[in-house]
Structure 1
Amino acid sequence: MNTSTMRSTQNEQQMNDLISAEVVSMDAYAASKSEDTVAKAKGFLDTAFPLATGSHKDVSSYVVYYQNLLMFFKDGTHSGLRDPRQFVALNGHKSEPSAILLQDKGTHVALTFDRCGTTGSQDLADIDDIQLEGHKYWISILNIDEEGRTPKTEQDQLFTAKDGSDYLLK
């Protein structure tokens, strides 16, 4: 192997090491940014939909028991909402809902769960998104792109009210 080939191989290795370090650095930055966003979103839930005891930050699962929303923690304890009337509807099965619909002062907030989702796979309670009801759209507070934009989804959604009837949002 001649000297120029060795230098070229060393330069390629150094470049690959530099690129690998940058990728790891960007992944760590994205993860910390995501954790900050989730922490702020759960802080919002603690303010708007406080639990009787504990914090949404520590919840490991959300379950509907009869017509009540229960939040379970890692240690097996559980809590309800301080104001149980704030829970209005769900999607999916009561023991493992795909979405929970809360309401405060006429505004709906939907928690969507997906343990395989981008955010849900990193969250203790599998929360993949938290969406606020806008005038015509749902506005995500977890899925925000680099420019600060949030994807909007159509407002019309059908849920199951806690009494078992249809709950349509228009």
Structure 2
Amino acid sequence: MSEQARYPCYHQRLQEVEGEEEEEEEEEEEEEEEEEEEEEEEEEEEEENTCSYYSNKNSDQEASQALTIMGAMFSIIAVVLACVHLSLIVFRRYVKALPIVAFICSVLSSLSIILGVIVWVGTSHDDYTDVSGDYELGWSFIASAVGGGLVAISAVLFLLGKD
């Protein structure tokens, strides 16, 4: 059985498409000429405004979100390690590396959370000149900064109390 007999609709459609392709090629040539002219004009405009071409208005917000999410992940790891360490102490088994790794994760957590807040405040809100008494900053970011500080304090206390 031939392939054309096996798939008649396919071959019929293939012949139609081949006929359409010839017509489309002529249209595409005309469109390509128009597009080349438009691209040349756009390139001239881009040369004048390269900074606006590469600027991404949401990149600062995305960086802030990424930093705070990384901080949350590091704090989860630190809490899990602290719980494992405390449960091992109950069973009189001591692993010296757990509190140190938990401390490092806590410090990384607090740094990334606070850096996320700084990036958000410093780049997203240029109109804030005095953020010390400004409560329009956003309660979530104030709470994040305080949480980052508390995580750093708890990391130091956990490391000091490991004995």
The TM-score normalised by the length of structure 2 is: 0.29
Between Structure 1 and Structure 2, whose CA radius of gyration is higher?
Answer: 2
More helix by proportion, 1 or 2?
Answer: 2
Q: TM-score normalised to the size of structure 1?
A: 0.28
Identify, as 1 or 2, the structure richer in strand.
1
